[in-house]
Structure 1
Amino acid sequence: MTRRHPFWRACAAELVGTGMLTLAVVGSGIAAADLSTDDGIRLAINAAATGLALYVIIVVFGPVSGAHLNPVVSLVDVALGGRPWRHLAGYLPAQFVGGVVGVILANTIFGRAPVSISGDDRLSGAHVAAEVVATAGLVLVIFALARGGGHRATPVAVAAYIAGAYFFTSSTSFANPAVTLGRVFTDSFAGIAPMSAVVFVPAQLIGAALGAVIAVLLFPRPSASHSNAAPGYVE
Structure 2
Amino acid sequence: MTLTRKLASEFIGTLGLVAIVVGSGIMAERLSAGNDAVALLGNSIATGAGLFVLIYGFSNISNAHFNPAVTIADMIRRRLAPSTGAAYISAQISGGICGTMIANLMFTLPIVNMSSKLRAGGGQFLGEFVATFGLIAVIRLGVRFHPNLVGALVALYITAAYWFTSSTSFANPAVTIARTLSNTFAGIAPESVPPFIVAQLLGMVSSLLFTEWIFADGDQTND
TM-score norm. by structure 2 comes to: 0.96
Count of residue correspondences = 221
Q: How does 1:42-191 map to 2 (within 5 A)?
A: 42-146=39-143, 148-191=144-187
Matching residue within 199, 208, 213 for 1:212: 208
Residue 193 of structure 1 aligns with which residue? 189
Higher normalized helix content (fraction of residues)? 2
- 1 or 2 for the larger relative contact order (CA 8 Å, sep ≥6)? 1
Deviation at 1:86, TM superposition (A): 2.1
Deviation at 1:26, TM superposition (A): 0.2
Q: Which amino acid aligns with 2:164?
A: F
Does structure 2 conserve the Cα–Cα contact (< 8 Å) formed by 1:12 and 1:94?
yes
TM-score norm. by structure 1 comes to: 0.92
Matching residue within 200, 203, 217 for 2:199: 203
Seq. identity, %: 39
Q: Give ranges in structure 1 of 5+ residues lacking alignment.
A: 228-235
1: CA distance between counterparts of 2:202 and 2:138? 16
Deviations 1:1-31 (A, max 9, x none): xxxx001110110000000000000000000
RMSD over aligned CA atoms reads 1.0
Q: Give ranges in structure 2 of 5+ residues lacking alignment.
A: none
Q: Which amino acid aligns with 2:137?
A: L
Does structure 2 conserve the Cα–Cα contact (< 8 Å) formed by 1:76 and 1:209?
yes
Residue 230 of structure 1 aligns with which residue? none
Deviations 1:143-187 (A, max 9, x none): 1222x2422111000000000000000100000000000000000
1: CA distance between counterparts of 2:35 and 2:142? 36
Q: Secondary structure at the match of 1:184?
A: helix
Q: Secondary structure at the match of 2:65?
A: coil
Does structure 2 conserve the Cα–Cα contact (< 8 Å) formed by 1:166 and 1:173?
yes
Deviation at 1:222, TM superposition (A): 5.1
2: CA distance between counterparts of 1:160 and 1:89? 28
2: CA distance between counterparts of 1:191 and 1:73? 22
Does structure 2 conserve the Cα–Cα contact (< 8 Å) formed by 1:144 and 1:219?
no
Q: Which moved more, 1:169-178 or 1:78-87?
A: 78-87
